[in-house]
Amino acid sequence: MIEHIILCEDHLKILDQTLLPHEKKYIECRTAETLIEAMQSLRIRGAPALGIAGAYGVVIASLESRTEKEFLERVEKIKNARPTAVNLSWGVEKVLSGIESYKNTEKMREIAKDIHKDDVQRNKKIGEYGEKIINDGDSILTHCNAGALATGGYGTALGVIRTAWEKNKKITVFADETRPLCQGARLTAWELREENIPCKVIPDSAAGFLMHIGEIDVVITGADRIAMNGDTANKIGTYTLSVLAKENNVPFYIAAPLSTFDRNSISGKDIKIEYRDEKEVLYFYGKRVAADVPALNPAFDITPHEYITGIITEKGIISPPYEKNIKEILK
């Protein structure tokens, strides 16, 4: 199992995902500021992993704050470091709701570590439920990275794939490269390679063609926030995949823990989409590839619930009608 978020005595150790797959280097976050920088630069990323880092971030904020006011200001900044992944504020709030004072650092550690451990267990349950939709010999398409690196250490969409592999199903994974930051080509492919799970990276734009010629049996992605009607925010390009999947009769699944559901979002319209620096699109590894024009860089999109075959959670697979069944599972 990849250990990529480690809480030490006075700092948080994080595997810098921007350097993967070429370099495996850890950074040390000793302040809320360095942690926020790490989140915003995607050194740590993926909704459940952000939730865990946010929970540990409360510990870091407690260690460096001299007054409650300072502590609360830092915690608020951590909570808002990235807007789309609901797990981030969820993780922060969960720690805050379990303490009585901003100096209660030991209690914070305990809660944050539990959140981390619990996430891995929940991912494994997602894997158990999800692997049933995978047949021996299937080719699975996934987008972005919803693996160990994006979670506490096992994965949601990749957790399903891992479990199917552990059960000796002969599968092949197509990993969308996931422009502009290539989480699929760099991170998903790296994770699968580490475990010898057969994987091919494809350009994002190849997915439709491969579905059309029958090369893809099922699509599984993660989620950053799921609204109460099932509309799902995930990495930009997910919506396109879902439409292509419907057109080509390929089942399209989302895999996510219940912490990704947002009771305050009635539909996808309520979800804030993060827009990132245009340089991520205009440049590739420091070299400008685009002509002298501006770019637009939405980091996420919304997949309307009508395009989703099922949502795989740690409590089972949610099928339509989503509004009714999500309410039921969250009770």
Residues in Cβ contact with 8 at an 8 Å cutoff, skipping those fewer than 6 apart: 28
222 binds ligand MRU (CB under 6 A): yes
Between 72 and 295, name the residue whose CB sits nearer to ligand MRU: 295
224 an active-site residue? Answer: yes
Tally of residues, the chain: 331
Min. distance of Cβ 123 from ligand MRU in angstroms?
Answer: 8
- The enclosing H or E element of 118 equals helix 105-130
Site for ligand MRU in 59-78 (CB under 6 A): none
Min. distance of Cβ 222 from ligand MRU in angstroms?
Answer: 3
- Candidate residues 4, 11, 43, 45; the one interacting with ligand MRU per rule CB under 6 A: 45
Min. distance of Cβ 67 from ligand MRU in angstroms?
Answer: 32
Site for ligand MRU in 95-134 (CB under 6 A): none
235 binds ligand MRU (CB under 6 A): yes
Tokens 């991520």 correspond to what residue? 280
81 binds ligand MRU (CB under 6 A): no
- Candidate residues 11, 29, 46, 55; the one interacting with ligand MRU per rule CB under 6 A: 46
Q: Are 309 and 250 in contact (CB under 8 A)?
A: no
Min. distance of Cβ 207 from ligand MRU in angstroms?
Answer: 15
Between 43 and 74, name the residue whose CB sits nearer to ligand MRU: 43
21 preceded by cis ω (within 30°)?
yes
Residues in Cβ contact with 13 at an 8 Å cutoff, skipping those fewer than 6 apart: 5, 6, 7, 26, 27, 28, 29
Min. distance of Cβ 12 from ligand MRU in angstroms?
Answer: 17
Query: Which residue is at the shortest CB distance from ligand MRU?
Result: 222
With H, G, I as helix, E, B as strand and everything else as coil, classify residue 102.
coil
Q: Which stretch binds ligand MRU (CB under 6 A): 107-115, 148-156, 201-209, 265-273?
A: 148-156
- Candidate residues 62, 65, 89, 156; the one interacting with ligand MRU per rule CB under 6 A: 156
User: Cβ of 219: how many Cβ atoms within 10 Å?
Assistant: 26
251 preceded by cis ω (within 30°)?
no
CA distance 262 to 85: 10
183 binds ligand MRU (CB under 6 A): yes
Tokens 């922060």 correspond to what residue? 92
Between 150 and 185, name the residue whose CB sits nearer to ligand MRU: 150
Catalytic residue among 217, 224, 231, 262: 224
Tokens 């991912």 correspond to what residue? 123
146 binds ligand MRU (CB under 6 A): yes
Closest to 85 (Cα-Cα) out of 151, 170, 6, 38: 151
218-221 and 252-255 strand pairing: parallel
Angle at 301 between CA 84 and CA 56, to 5 degrees: 25
- Candidate residues 299, 302, 308, 318; the one interacting with ligand MRU per rule CB under 6 A: 299
Catalytic residues: 224
Q: Which residues of the chain form contacts with ligand MRU (CB under 6 A)?
A: 42, 45-48, 85, 144, 146, 150-151, 156, 183, 221-224, 234-235, 299
